[in-house]
Chains A and B, each alone.
Chain A
Amino acid sequence: MEVGKLSPEYFEAVAVCELDKTTFSVLDIEEGDPVRVETIEGSVIVRSKLDRRAEPGVAFIPCGPYANMIMNADTEMTGMPRFKEMEAIIFAAKDETILSIEELME
């Protein structure tokens, strides 16, 4: 938080997907295991994080370079991409690696 965009703290904060308890058991993963999030725009591997208040059907990735990989850039003539909602499919990706921000940008 306000430490720096190239800091490990920023990576830890943005390379995550917050999921509910039921989704964890359906995907058969533990908190911290990588998940692959796929939308029509692309896919990205991020770390799973448990949100105890969350309910099945809605997952959350914070604004940042990982979310941007799967966002639609169409602004429908408003200037604003639809940052808040994309239909996505989430897969367990235990054997896959979460790219660093530098690797993600390549």
Chain B
Amino acid sequence: MGISIPDVVCPFCGCLCDDLIIHVDNGRIIKNEHGCAISKSKFLHHLDDRLEHPEIRDGDSHQTVELKTAISHCVDLLKNARRPLIYGLSSVENDAHREAYKIADLVGAIVDNTSSVCHGPTILGTQESGEAAGSLAEVKNRADLVIYWGSNPQFAHPRHISRFVKPPGEFIHDPRTDREVWVFDIRKSITATLADRFVKVEPGRDLEVLSALRALVRGHEIDVSEVGGVPIDTIRELAERMKSAKYGILFFGLGLTQSHGRHHNVDAAIRLVQDLNSYTKWNMMSMRGHYNVAGANKTLTWTTGYPFAVDFSRGFPRYQPGEYTAVDLLRRGEVDVLLNIGADPVAHFPKVAVSHIRKIPVINIDPKRNLTSLFAEVNIPTAIAGIECDGAAVRMDGLPLYLKKVMNPPEGIIPDREVLQMIYEQLEEVMQ
């Protein structure tokens, strides 16, 4: 006889959908109700392609070892490291972050989370111009104009539109007529085909389009026929419509943060939203990818004062993007040990950074096999938070949510936080 577990939070993307019903029968997850296709796959395939045992590299292959042997090997590597980097943290829950920061503090490591290659520029933009904040519920209840800029939620956040844009809200009785959706992108994405309006921007010209919108919102005239591939009359019309919205929301994705201009693009978008607030109510929100990358920024900020790229080597936290960010450290060949927690830098970093990872010992802590695990010196498997252990994570709008444990992890496999705690405790002993 199976059981149904209601109100389960999905640990995939930054939407943290909290309405899943997970059916478990005979020790297996058999159904995920309400989840998107990715969520269903994550829950139903949670046992596939796992790292099954702790292992240590032996020549070209890995040897299975006891957990305590793997932990001791990690401790040896970290104790003797001169410039260790702790990276990842966006796909693990908040308690694991705490243990990772304790290790960093103890050994004088650098901590960087995956936001340095996703919404790091968003944070830099925010540090320049201030943070607009509001909840996703506010969007659902109030927004009559929704913009996705450089973001394709139908692919990356499949229920974002169906949970927060399509349903009616307190002041949006019929979303088909009361709410408009626009997409700004360099190509016509799936999301763009569903939108009421698609604005095609030339690649790398977002900053110009945002700045033109700002100028027109403020009542200036621009003596050109087009900006960033968009006719000026269209930009003028968009600016007027944005001013006349009752509540506008600008969702933006990596199309702004990973393209030419990076944080300047986000800075310009924040200033546009600030200007629009002279006329009406506007808000903006970054479309956070990994389910707890927002949490990684929050926990690191409340622990050290800084959201990513934090160096503990002088015994106190210092912050400098471009210097203590993972890609830069690896590109310069500075790091001599990498502790990778719930990320896959070998799959996602440029080849010059990957080639340095291949030269140094990597301690890889992750539930599943991935490209980094192939080259790691030590692999330690862990339980998947939100499925096999509990924890807390932070939604893209900053709301912390509790992740439930819906079933036991495979035998002998423990949560990330416990593995990191074991490493910390043993390090503390040997470093006294």
Q: Spell out A's residues near B (CB within 8 Å).
A: 1-7, 41-42, 51, 53-55, 58, 60, 63-65, 68-69, 71-73, 75-85, 101-102, 105
Contact = CB atoms under 8 A, between A and B. Distances in A.
A105 B347 CA distance: 10
Contacts of A63: 348
Nearest to A62: B155
Nearest to A42: B351
A68 B354 CA distance: 9
A75 B193 CA distance: 32
Interface stretch (B101-109, B116-124, B393-401, B415-423): B116-124
Nearest to A59: B187
A82 B322 contact: no
Interface of B: 12, 37-38, 41-42, 45, 48-49, 112, 116-117, 120-121, 124, 150, 186-189, 192-193, 203-204, 254-255, 257-260, 262-263, 308-309, 321-323, 325-328, 331, 344, 346-354, 358, 368-371, 374-375
B187 A81 contact: no
A77 B320 CA distance: 9
B187 A83 contact: no
A68 B260 CA distance: 17
Given A6-B371, A84-B203, 8 more contacts: A2-B45, A71-B351, A78-B263, A79-B112, A79-B117, A79-B321, A80-B120, A85-B186
Contacts of B204: 84-85
Contacts of B344: 5
Contacts of B124: 78
Contact of B258 (A5, A7, A82, A101): A82
A22 to B, nearest CB: 14
Nearest to A70: B351
Given A65-B371, A105-B371, A82 B327 contact: no
B117 A83 contact: yes
Given A1-B38, A84-B203, A78 B322 contact: yes
A55 B187 contact: yes
A72 B351 CA distance: 9
Contact of B350 (A1, A55, A73, A85): A73
A21 to B, nearest CB: 13
7 contacts: A4-B370, A7-B48, A68-B347, A71-B351, A78-B322, A79-B308, A105-B346
Given A2-B12, A2-B38, A4-B48, A65 B347 contact: yes
B79 to A, nearest CB: 27
Nearest to B308: A79
A76 B262 CA distance: 10
Contacts of B187: 51, 53-55, 58, 60
Contacts of B45: 2-4
A78 to B, nearest CB: 5
Given A3-B41, A54-B188, A79 B203 contact: no
A94 to B, nearest CB: 25
Given A80-B117, A84-B254, A85-B204, A3 B328 contact: no
A75 to B, nearest CB: 6
A68 B349 contact: yes
Contact of B259 (A7, A71, A85, A101): A85
A1 B358 CA distance: 26
Contacts of A81: 117, 258, 327, 349-350
Given A54-B187, A68-B350, A75-B322, A5 B370 contact: yes
